[in-house]
Structure 1
Amino acid sequence: MRKERAFQIKTPSGWKVAGKVLNIKGDWCFYREIYSAKHAFHTFEAWSLQSILVPVLQADNVKYIYQYDRESQKMYRILFEEFVDKSVERDFGEGKQLYCSTKYFSEVKGMKRIKKWINSVELVA
């Protein structure tokens, strides 16, 4: 289903918005906003993504993951397939997640936070 929409996932601590699928510069991408102090897994120096989203994003032919760090006000990007290939799966109490080292993410210079409102929300079990 290739349309712009937000994803809400069920975790052990409740339902959470995981991010949005957007068309960015002609490519279908997964976009989310994070706080590095709160969302980075510092033991691995990695960013994570809930494993349950991977098949959904693959079905949408997502090319990139864009991540806006609200603390540093910087945008980061990684090829979706590179994220999947270079990550490890672990469960530390919030469900299975893929962890990918921050060294594989590139800063996108000059790109600002995306403030686009998305009305469509998809619940992912």
Structure 2
Amino acid sequence: MFAELFALLYVAHLAADYPLQTDHQAAHKADSSAAGWRANLVHAGTHVAACGVALALAAVVLDQSAGMWPSIAALAWIGGTHAVIDRRWPIRWWMENTGQEEFIKHGGAAHVDQAAHVIALAVAALWMAA
């Protein structure tokens, strides 16, 4: 069940991070303002909605359901971690404190950001499969 859930959550993540994310959200989701927080939370909400659809599809099409409460907990985890990661400072902090300053200069933050999101999705899928 882990593999199916993880794959569907990852597809939902890609959809929410790319075709479903507006230019405004991408540009402002890390801003320290009310508009920045709105952009961030709406974007995180898009992830929750997309992943909710993925979990519903898993239950209906694949007969792979983790149950209501584990799914709700996983969706809360996905939305919360996505919102925090997309504030950008956690990724910058990580990279500056693990010897990746040069990687930051060469566009590495986007890769570390995506790795953090994928790790969060794997944790959610493991939780639901357990």
Q: Shared fold (TM-score greater than 0.5)?
A: no
Normalized against structure 1, the TM-score is what?
0.29
Give the structure with the larger strand fraction.
Answer: 1
Normalized against structure 2, the TM-score is what?
0.28
Give the structure with the larger helix fraction.
Answer: 2
Larger Rg: 2
